[in-house]
Structure 1
Amino acid sequence: MADNMPTLRKDLSAVARKARLTSAVNDVDSIIAQLLEARESIAAERDPHAASLILTKLQNPIKEGFETVNNDLKAVSRTQKEFGKALDRSFPVTPLPTEYDVIQKHLALINRAIAMHLLREGHFGVSRVFMDEARDMASMAANVAVDTKYNEYDDGDDGDDGDDGEEDDEKDEDEDGREDTAMATGGGPLSGSYEAANFTQVESRNLQDKFQRLYSILQEIKTHNLGPAIEWSRANSDALEERGSNLEFELCKLQFIWLAKSQSHDLSPDDSEDDDEMERATGGGGGGGSGSGRFGAAGLGGIGMSEAFGYARDNFDRFRERHLAEIERLAAALVFASNIRASPYATVFETATAFEDLAAAFTREFCSLLGLSAESPLYVAATAGTIALPRLIKFIGATRSKRTEWTSANEMAFETPLPASMTYHSIFVCPVSKEQTTRENPPMRLPCGHVLANDSLRNLAKGSKFKCPYCPAEGQIRDAQQIYF
């Protein structure tokens, strides 16, 4: 397939060059202009016979015009068909193995993954309709299953015994109760997986509200307004602290830097407009601004410095224990405010990609507090499957040619090279206990950079302090951060 890509690029360039509707549009405009001119001529003539004469003269030009438009469209269609044939030649259709349909047994989980993906992508309306229809289909399937089971039981009943009739009523009530529960939860009465995998209406509405909040905050970050993000991080500071997250400090740090850069000397006209926009957005320093983030010729401005100092006094004290070194670095950088670009602290105030990086970090932390991964599992699974599919098809073809079968249905029969971003289950063995880490005993990164299992760290600690077994560094348990391989 890779050998055909240069040819496909050439064919695609031909499509972009030839398959244009410009000629057809121009010809249609010409026909419309002729019709308008004829209408005006008819309206201007007082002789009633003049209209038929004008229309008679118009027949041939209009007919020729339509033929020209059809020829233009045929040329476009011909070019598109040729490219379609080139695609078919380069990527021939290969039938996929269908002996074992894994998806069919986990339809509810697939529906949940699709709904979650739609929510993550911000398609809230589509997600809501999809979840409603998925619940309706699950309820219909549950009703059919219940009716089938009831009919089977009813056919086996001769109706002679009164006690059996009472027993039938009790069973009917039980079935109805289970059915009502299934419909309320969006699941089927015969399978607990439906109840666990399908969204309830309350759950879907709750998730939609949360992701709408996420997208609203991300939109503000894109406009360099950090106020809503800082407000959210403070409201969830305890949960972020438990995760060892630095999100709140990073937000406040960037807010401080952006305020310090809000005014600069020797501004160009574009810079002045950016700073006016920033001043309106900050509202006196409460939120971030919107601007280019460029320094003036002389460095940081006086008004911005004043706002930055005030913001630092009000907000940095709470981060003093964990981030004192960075706070000191920020303070030292302000000493060189008049010539920050030539100072050792120029990189501290560089914000070229700061907001994009912080938006990605905010998304990760937001999803983690919801118990979700930062990336859509459906997207990751589809991407990994696309990477593995060519090898899988080749492997199945080879096994069939040798009249052998792949009997392992729940795991791959060979290693698939995936990118590092899709490697989630690396094994870490604690160098102290020589035991493999688990979810209950995760790997912990010490401030000095060494990694131990959490249980080993607790055993080494004396109270809340510990000494690294590999270097003289000392620290406190709260400074150790859980890491994810």
Structure 2
Amino acid sequence: MAFLQLQKDLEKLIGSAKLSDAVQDVDKIIDLLTDAREKVASANNPHTTNLTLAKLQNPIKEQLDGLNSDLRHVYKAQNEFNKALKAAFPKALGSLPTEHDPMQSHSTLINRAIVMHLLREGQFGVASTFINEVQQQSELEPEHRQQPGPAQAQQLESEFESASESQQPSSKPNFHPVMSPEYLPPTDAIITDADIPSDLTAFQSQALQSSFADMYSILSALKAHNLLPAISWARENCVELEARGSNLEFELCKLQFIWLFKGPGINGLPDTPENGVQGALQYARENFGRFQQRHLREIRQLSAAIVYSQNLADSPYSSIFDISAAFDEVSASFTREFCSLLGLSAESPLYVAVTAGALALPWLIKYNTKTKAKGTEWTTANELAFETPLPRSMMYHSIFVCPVSKEQTTESNPPVILPCGHVLAKESLHRLAKGSRYKCPYCPSEGVVKDAKEIIL
């Protein structure tokens, strides 16, 4: 219940605290002052100057009053939400330790996550401002700044400069592969600050921002039920998509066929020969030929549905032509594939981390309260001391606990499978081994340590 109330308070904050109104007031004041300056400069007359300044007083006062009023609403809404936060998390704010911040030494990683989230949201101006402020703060604290090595810095600089120089203006949305494997560590690796360049100005690459701008332009078109930009992008990148086994291009063309099939009464497109059943049939003839090898069955179903065009809802193909959620699904698929070709996950890591943290917070509070009451401490270094219930979409790695050591496996101590089929941690196997041979702790089998194979669950 507390979280539901907090969600309502957040919606209230978003609805009432509009900094955009204050920004508009400031812009109006700037416009008034600019116009007055131009009049004074062009007139070059003291009488005109005095008259212009006199006329300027009341409008400026009105705008300043409006600005103060807007800011008061913002401050009031923020204070109310701050009280709501304290009411929702009284134990969290009072019981969790504050003397040690485990993320304090990972500021570079946090800044990178924030910048990437802002870029993914299309907030390029905010991202640029954030990067500049972080760099300025780093210059003020040089002793805490971690500099990339000369080779790494030179490599990153050349990569982003070459990507920016190769960026050509185009009317079509294009894919720009500007993120290199060295820049983005593998998703299954334990990422440390040493893997992340501290110079965030690399994220100000015009090519990178152009890629995200293209993505949001296409998503905006999909939201308006315009599939053509997405189809064009998928066709331009068909080689990379097919190499990944993606069906995105066909799914987009299939949805375009259905959208045309429904006719101007549903899709709102002009009533022309290119729309309706005949338009859909013509579109299929022009575009479905290249998909016959992999999607012949679906193409036959779409073609056969033309016979039932007058009573499609009662036909065997009614489920295929139910596209109530199709545009949302294809938008999600497009985002996933677009980000994948950039070497990124479909969802913002910052969003996933914050959401997972919010879901795990009650369990952390409960665990911390109990351990504090017992006088014990959390001694686990790189893992949670308890299982945290998270949705399946946020589970990226399987968890394996060695049955011998009762410890969770890590990157340095991975699970290994023995020839007999039993699995245990690598360190446990070496402790059990006598020389190069071992005896399985769960069956009579014996073997050589080198025959054990590292596995990924």
- Alignment TM class, shorter chain as reference: 0.5 to 0.7
Correspondence 1:105-254 to 2 at 5 A: 105-142=105-142, 193=194, 196=197, 198-201=199-202, 204-254=205-255
**2:290 matches 1:322:** no
Deviation of residue 81 (structure 1)?
9.2
Give 1:305's aligned residue.
277
Q: Which moved more, 1:176-185 or 1:411-420?
A: 176-185
Aligned residue identity for 1:274: G
Deviation of residue 194 (structure 1)?
7.6
Correspondence 1:270-349 to 2 at 5 A: 274-276=268-270, 304-349=276-321
Q: Distance in 1 between matches of 2:346 and 2:215?
A: 12
Q: Distance in 1 between matches of 2:254 and 2:115?
A: 36
Deviation of residue 323 (structure 1)?
0.4
Give 2:347's aligned residue.
375
Q: Is the 8 A contact 1:108 1:193 kept in 2?
A: no
Deviation of residue 405 (structure 1)?
1.8
Q: Distance in 1 between matches of 2:246 and 2:150?
A: 46
Give 1:411's aligned residue.
383
**Paired residue for 2:330, among 347, 358, 369?**
358
Deviation of residue 198 (structure 1)?
4.2
Q: Distance in 1 between matches of 2:156 and 2:281?
A: 58
Q: Distance in 1 between matches of 2:214 and 2:233?
A: 10
**Where does structure 1 lack aligned partners over 5 or more consecutive residues?**
20-72, 147-174, 286-302, 437-483
Q: Is the 8 A contact 2:106 2:193 kept in 1?
A: no
Deviation of residue 394 (structure 1)?
2.6
Larger radius of gyration: 1
Give 1:426's aligned residue.
398
Deviation of residue 140 (structure 1)?
4.6
Q: Distance in 2 between matches of 1:251 and 1:182?
A: 38
Q: Distance in 2 between matches of 1:305 and 1:179?
A: 57
Aligned residue identity for 2:96: L
Aligned residue identity for 1:213: D
Deviation of residue 379 (structure 1)?
0.9
In structure 2, the CA distance between the partners of 1:109 and 1:198, relative to structure 1 (3 Å rule), is farther
In structure 2, the CA distance between the partners of 1:183 and 1:241, relative to structure 1 (3 Å rule), is closer
In structure 2, the CA distance between the partners of 1:395 and 1:313, relative to structure 1 (3 Å rule), is same
Q: Distance in 1 between matches of 2:81 and 2:370?
A: 31
Q: Which moved more, 1:85-94 or 1:317-326?
A: 85-94
In structure 2, the CA distance between the partners of 1:381 and 1:235, relative to structure 1 (3 Å rule), is same
Deviation of residue 87 (structure 1)?
6.8
Number of aligned residues: 312
Deviation of residue 112 (structure 1)?
0.5
Deviation of residue 427 (structure 1)?
6.9
Aligned residue identity for 1:348: I
Correspondence 1:33-52 to 2 at 5 A: none
Secondary structure of the equivalent of 1:346? coil
Could you tell me the TM-score, scaled by structure 1's length?
A: 0.55
**2:403 matches 1:402:** no
Aligned residue identity for 1:113: A
Aligned residue identity for 1:260: F
In structure 2, the CA distance between the partners of 1:192 and 1:383, relative to structure 1 (3 Å rule), is closer
Aligned residue identity for 1:114: I
In structure 2, the CA distance between the partners of 1:209 and 1:343, relative to structure 1 (3 Å rule), is same
User: Deviation string for 1:328-367 (max 9, x for gaps)?
Assistant: 1111111222322221112222222211111111111111
In structure 2, the CA distance between the partners of 1:397 and 1:254, relative to structure 1 (3 Å rule), is same
Q: Percent identity?
A: 48
Q: Distance in 2 between matches of 1:325 and 1:404?
A: 62
Q: Is the 8 A contact 1:367 1:374 kept in 2?
A: yes
Q: Distance in 2 between matches of 1:91 and 1:192?
A: 31
Deviation of residue 435 (structure 1)?
9.9
Deviation of residue 114 (structure 1)?
0.3
Deviation of residue 129 (structure 1)?
1.3
Secondary structure of the equivalent of 1:348? coil
Q: Distance in 2 between matches of 1:433 and 1:325?
A: 44
Q: Is the 8 A contact 1:363 1:374 kept in 2?
A: yes
Deviation of residue 318 (structure 1)?
0.7
Greater RCO structure (CA 8 Å; 6+ sep): 2
Q: Distance in 1 between matches of 2:420 and 2:343?
A: 29
Deviation of residue 392 (structure 1)?
1.7
